[in-house]
Structure 1
Amino acid sequence: MATIETTTTTRRATAYLRAATALQTLAVFFQAVTAGLLLSTSYGEVLHGVGARVMYGATMLYVLAAVLAWRPGGGSPRPVLYASGFLVLASVQVVLGIAHVPSVHVPLGVTMFGLSVLDLAHHRRDRP
């Protein structure tokens, strides 16, 4: 009986982890879209600012899901390292955006999107 509960908990934690990774990837993609709007419209700055907050929140949710998949779920601690690293990158990205340093902000954003897509693909491949 404990094995069934453990398996159910692991599957649920893995599903939350996949959902959090997908949300993060979508939020980073939205940032890329609003970056283009920032250059071409008057409302782009507002959308990009709101998107930055959503992306940062999604990244924190990803860290939470990774911790829950690891500790109570009995999963690997590796996603916690990935999520924490991504939170550090997101923090640097926010600071660079506020400081208006596009020469680093833009390439870091592209890198973050690529890393998030790779992580999402990794979670999709590991489906139970």
Structure 2
Amino acid sequence: MATQEMAKTRRGFSFLKIAITLQTLTVFLQAVSAGLLLTSSYGETLHSVGARVMYGASMLYVLAAVLAWKPGGGSPRPVRHASGFLVLASVQVVLGIAHVPAVHVPLGVLIFGLSVLALARR
């Protein structure tokens, strides 16, 4: 019975690690597409599509954190972290749509740094 509990926890944490990795990767790709936004004609489209993918990755991170916590019996801390990332991603999207690069760019750097930190902790 204890082995089954540990297997569920490991699966939950591996799904959580995959979700954090995906989020970190999509945030990094957003930085790349932001550079392309300044230098090419297709950069705006790529950055716009990437924003949707990054937001979806943030939602997946929340789902993975909840699944690792509730059925797996893990700590609720990843749920708070994932929810914080979703809030930051929401603010980031609003700032991007409003064309406020003075806050949008530093917030993106902060999100990337926090995402890398969360990935390193897993």
TM-score range, shorter chain: over 0.9
Alignment-derived partner of residue 19 in structure 1: 18
What is the Cα deviation at residue 3 of structure 1?
0.8
2:24 partner amino acid: T
Between the aligned partners of 1:28 and 1:4, the Cα distance in structure 2 is 36
Between the aligned partners of 1:70 and 1:53, the Cα distance in structure 2 is 26
Between the aligned partners of 2:84 and 2:110, the Cα distance in structure 1 is 13
User: Aligned residues, how many?
Assistant: 122
What is the Cα deviation at residue 69 of structure 1?
0.2
Q: Does 1:57 align with 2:37?
A: no
Between the aligned partners of 1:43 and 1:64, the Cα distance in structure 2 is 32
Gaps of 5+ in 1: 124-128
Alignment-derived partner of residue 75 in structure 1: 74
1:113-124 equivalences under 5 Å are 113-123=112-122
Q: TM-score w.r.t. structure 1 length?
A: 0.95
Q: Does 1:38 align with 2:34?
A: no
What is the Cα deviation at residue 22 of structure 1?
0.1
Q: TM-score w.r.t. structure 2 length?
A: 0.99
SS state of the match for residue 100, structure 1? coil
